[in-house]
A and B are shown apart, each in its own frame.
Chain A
């Protein structure tokens, strides 16, 4: 099947049709203007639901059957149970036993615990995954083994796709640490507490059918109602929805790697001397060891100067909670929770509140949270001479990561990527990224152990650190230094076949991933 391709606004060759659906090539940042109205699910009637509000069904299989599970349907799940998720795989185990084919799995992210799904991709139960693919799943896709074409979206892009009707969810299967029989559900309580379950919001609002799966049935009403029962069709109680030790880390830890600490320290100095760090600053940092170390340095600097961050957007961790509780942060707005201290804080601190990505990240909204952030700390597998970033493939061409919120976060005021100049001989700064995930015009600063490169578009930042003694270099100088140390790498060789597409935050196709030629 020959696919017609065009060159998009980022210079990448992309198709006009994927999985039988027409798609729009990337037009440039902020250039695509959506038309029409948002998607809406079918209109339900109370006459079809029990008057006593009890929607309990004996098993997940029964619930899936009642939802009319059939070939070709799109099944969505959220990833709040992270690597401890016991529900997603179960869905496809049931579907496979029923002889169902060609399902589309539409998770908000996948984890190593989902690797067993490869057998349902092999046996035809699943046609494709539209979501993040890590580890063995990514490898499987890169080697061209998945029947359909994978679609990678950011967290905000997933909400956009649901709201705009690009993806129509037939059945949302939503694991919930606590639920009542009506389907009101939340992320706290029980043995599988994960803090918040905000990623499920678009799913329960827009899916045709919604199943809540819990291992902790509570009396009505289950509050706070992160999932509202009026949108829920069925409630299933199982023994265990997740493995607690793999849902949240008991504790997140700052990195002990001296190389990463060095990068974190340099990042903190940059934030300080550039004047980005100030009273009332707004910030987001992830749960990676380097980000946590940066958060600790930032905390110290705020404390020294008697300043306070007005709010932080989580992924919350104990380091952010400490800032909140020490009075160096006004609020934590929380999309996901990474450790037990954060679960505790969410339950006890009134200034630590759930804030789903649904409200924060969708580009097709009337404004969103990311552009209000002063400091955005992100990672990347590659950055090129034009500051373009890649987060999904490695330089060897293998698809190994999801986008997460990365693309959405690029709209922050100061996007800073603290990354090593090379990892095990593989340079991170390259001539041209293997896969384009984020346009360079949105990436401001690259901080490596061997120097800082500031995007020439940010003259203000370049001026702000003149004479500061910080090791500011051009990105070309950093690339040359990496190549002097590591040697110039060969390029991976690809087939013509497209195995995955990367969507931009507005639903257009920014790049595709082609099948790797393996020897």
Chain B
């Protein structure tokens, strides 16, 4: 590496919770830090102390560091400085912040994935409160929302966010890049308790297998026990044609999503609100996913101002068999969640089924019947899930069993 000046991060009048590092390696003169910060009076010293510790960690002794800070949290400051350092020096070392205890949870295959909030992987301001909106999943995105020249630095930021930001129980997801870069992205994140990887523009089962193999290597190397699930995103005509093979390519695939902006571009038509142009593709994806026993997930709704349009789209989507939708703004989460939520009739029917199942069991009966109908185990399990969801969504009190059953 023969560069002597590196730049990482962002600054500017509209930038919040981020910082820009301009790092210049010198041959002598020690460490000089030039700090401009809106929180200087409160955190000036702690910012400098952190940067000195990082420079020492990387054995950098002569340097001029210009920091323009707009209230970046420590995990952001260290990600930005590490990204700058790595542009100038070859080193295998990583300056890894502590993993907060709240972040060590794992996910399950069958958990709900109704709402998954996309977050651009190089914009720390959106990450800090993302877990508070109660989305089922948080997607830290390396792909379309990160500019090509920012792709490298976003890896350090996302890695640090996975360790330091409390996502309050949301499934921790990362959308990697396409191709080789995507596989390399995995090295930065898999060791830090990622629950699920989204594979963009997936067209073949081989792509999924390549991702799974790389993850297995990393899991072995770091002795990671918790599972890492996969969700391929189908965004092309070829991907749709191969949907079923993709869906059952590996055991870790738990869901399959469709990306309609790219899909409509691929088939050469504009995307419409009615969606006739993608009806076949969406149906095919739903059927392929259901055939493979995984969750079909619908495309994002891109007009964040149009809540009525979103509501209608969610209902249509649920009616087609989809089990979730991506969210590009926190305001979409509650609309989507409510849309996929069970209706009143569905909840009542589930209550009857679970009630019948539980009374049969407590009476020592092996067979469950509701009226004249026999009830299979999966039906009971689905009803239980519906009620669990209804409880989680506040549509049903957890003590519903104590309610007076009038009939």
Q: Are A and B part of the same complex?
A: yes
Smallest CB-CB separation from B398: which chain A residue? A469
A335 within 8 A of B: no
Expressed in whole angstroms, the Cα–Cα distance for A43 and B375 within the complex equals 93
- In the bound complex, residues from chain B placing their C-beta under 8 Å from that of A201 are none
Expressed in whole angstroms, the Cα–Cα distance for A150 and B44 within the complex equals 29
Task: Please state if B43 and A450 are interface contacts (CB–CB under 8 Å).
Answer: no
Task: Please state if A486 and B73 are interface contacts (CB–CB under 8 Å).
Answer: yes
Expressed in whole angstroms, the Cα–Cα distance for A490 and B42 within the complex equals 5
- In the bound complex, residues from chain B placing their C-beta under 8 Å from that of A484 are 100
- Of the residues B16, B43, B129, B133, contact of A489 by C-beta under 8 Å: B43
Smallest CB-CB separation from A420: which chain B residue? B129
Expressed in whole angstroms, the Cα–Cα distance for A109 and B110 within the complex equals 58
A residues 316-360 touching B (CB-CB < 8 Å): none
- In the bound complex, residues from chain B placing their C-beta under 8 Å from that of A258 are 129, 133, 329-331
With A486-B73, A487-B46, A490-B41 as contacts: A425 and B17 at CB distance below 8 Å: yes
With A490-B44, A490-B46 as contacts: A424 and B129 at CB distance below 8 Å: no
Smallest CB-CB separation from B40: which chain A residue? A396
Interface residues on A, range: 20 to 34
A residues 181-240 touching B (CB-CB < 8 Å): none
Task: Please state if B39 and A424 are interface contacts (CB–CB under 8 Å).
Answer: yes
Q: Interface size (B, Cβ < 8 Å)?
A: 23
A438 within 8 A of B: no
A residues 220-270 touching B (CB-CB < 8 Å): 256, 258-259, 261-262
A485 within 8 A of B: yes
- In the bound complex, residues from chain A placing their C-beta under 8 Å from that of B39 are 396, 424-426, 489
Smallest CB-CB separation from A421: which chain B residue? B129
Task: Please state if B42 and A395 are interface contacts (CB–CB under 8 Å).
Answer: yes
Centre residue among B39, B70, B331 by max chain A CB count within 10 A? B39
Task: Please state if A262 and B132 are interface contacts (CB–CB under 8 Å).
Answer: yes
- In the bound complex, residues from chain B placing their C-beta under 8 Å from that of A486 are 43, 73
A420-431: CB near B (< 8 Å → 1, else 0) gives 000011100000
A84 within 8 A of B: no
A506 within 8 A of B: no
B101-131: CB near A (< 8 Å → 1, else 0) gives 0000000000000000000000000001100
A138 within 8 A of B: no
- In the bound complex, residues from chain A placing their C-beta under 8 Å from that of B132 are 259, 262, 449-450
A480 to chain B minimum Cβ distance, whole angstroms, is 13
Smallest CB-CB separation from A518: which chain B residue? B41
A101 to chain B minimum Cβ distance, whole angstroms, is 34
- In the bound complex, residues from chain B placing their C-beta under 8 Å from that of A487 are 43, 46, 73-74
B214 within 8 A of A: no
B127 to chain A minimum Cβ distance, whole angstroms, is 11
Task: Please state if A397 and B129 are interface contacts (CB–CB under 8 Å).
Answer: no
- In the bound complex, residues from chain B placing their C-beta under 8 Å from that of A425 are 17, 39, 42-43, 71-73
Expressed in whole angstroms, the Cα–Cα distance for A485 and B70 within the complex equals 16
A28 within 8 A of B: no
- In the bound complex, residues from chain B placing their C-beta under 8 Å from that of A99 are none
- In the bound complex, residues from chain B placing their C-beta under 8 Å from that of A256 are 331
B45 within 8 A of A: yes
Task: Please state if B17 and A424 are interface contacts (CB–CB under 8 Å).
Answer: yes
Expressed in whole angstroms, the Cα–Cα distance for A256 and B304 within the complex equals 11
B279-301: CB near A (< 8 Å → 1, else 0) gives 00000000000000000000000
Smallest CB-CB separation from A256: which chain B residue? B331
B38 within 8 A of A: yes
- In the bound complex, residues from chain B placing their C-beta under 8 Å from that of A112 are none
A53 within 8 A of B: no
Expressed in whole angstroms, the Cα–Cα distance for A480 and B45 within the complex equals 20
- In the bound complex, residues from chain A placing their C-beta under 8 Å from that of B331 are 256, 258, 261
Expressed in whole angstroms, the Cα–Cα distance for A486 and B75 within the complex equals 10
Smallest CB-CB separation from A469: which chain B residue? B394
- Of the residues B42, B72, B74, contact of A426 by C-beta under 8 Å: B42
Smallest CB-CB separation from A450: which chain B residue? B132
A65 to chain B minimum Cβ distance, whole angstroms, is 45
A288 within 8 A of B: no
B55 to chain A minimum Cβ distance, whole angstroms, is 19
With A424-B16, A486-B73 as contacts: A396 and B330 at CB distance below 8 Å: no
B234 to chain A minimum Cβ distance, whole angstroms, is 29
B50 to chain A minimum Cβ distance, whole angstroms, is 9
A72 within 8 A of B: no
Expressed in whole angstroms, the Cα–Cα distance for A450 and B132 within the complex equals 8
With A424-B16, A424-B17, A426-B39 as contacts: A449 and B46 at CB distance below 8 Å: no
A residues 65-84 touching B (CB-CB < 8 Å): none
- Of the residues A259, A395, A492, contact of B129 by C-beta under 8 Å: A259
B residues 1-56 touching A (CB-CB < 8 Å): 16-17, 38-39, 41-46
Expressed in whole angstroms, the Cα–Cα distance for A127 and B339 within the complex equals 62
Expressed in whole angstroms, the Cα–Cα distance for A496 and B73 within the complex equals 32
Expressed in whole angstroms, the Cα–Cα distance for A259 and B331 within the complex equals 10
- In the bound complex, residues from chain A placing their C-beta under 8 Å from that of B45 are 490
Expressed in whole angstroms, the Cα–Cα distance for A489 and B43 within the complex equals 6
B260 to chain A minimum Cβ distance, whole angstroms, is 24
Expressed in whole angstroms, the Cα–Cα distance for A117 and B9 within the complex equals 39
B133 to chain A minimum Cβ distance, whole angstroms, is 7
Expressed in whole angstroms, the Cα–Cα distance for A497 and B39 within the complex equals 24
A360 to chain B minimum Cβ distance, whole angstroms, is 36
B residues 269-326 touching A (CB-CB < 8 Å): none
Task: Please state if B73 and A485 are interface contacts (CB–CB under 8 Å).
Answer: yes
A residues 379-436 touching B (CB-CB < 8 Å): 395-397, 424-426
Expressed in whole angstroms, the Cα–Cα distance for A492 and B17 within the complex equals 21
Interchain Cβ contacts under 8 Å between A and B, 29 examples: A256-B331, A258-B129, A259-B129, A262-B132, A262-B133, A395-B42, A396-B39, A396-B42, A424-B16, A424-B39, A424-B71, A425-B17, A425-B39, A425-B71, A425-B72, A426-B42, A426-B71, A449-B129, A485-B73, A485-B128, A487-B43, A487-B46, A487-B73, A487-B74, A488-B46, A489-B42, A489-B43, A490-B45, A492-B41
The 4 closest A-B pairs by CB, nearest first: A424-B71, A258-B330, A396-B41, A489-B42
Besides A259-B129, A424-B16, A425-B39, 7 new A-B residue pairs in contact (Cβ under 8 A), listed by A number = A262-B132, A397-B41, A425-B17, A425-B43, A425-B71, A485-B128, A492-B42
Chain B residues within 8 Å of A, Cβ to Cβ: 16-17, 38-39, 41-46, 70-74, 100, 128-129, 132-133, 329-331
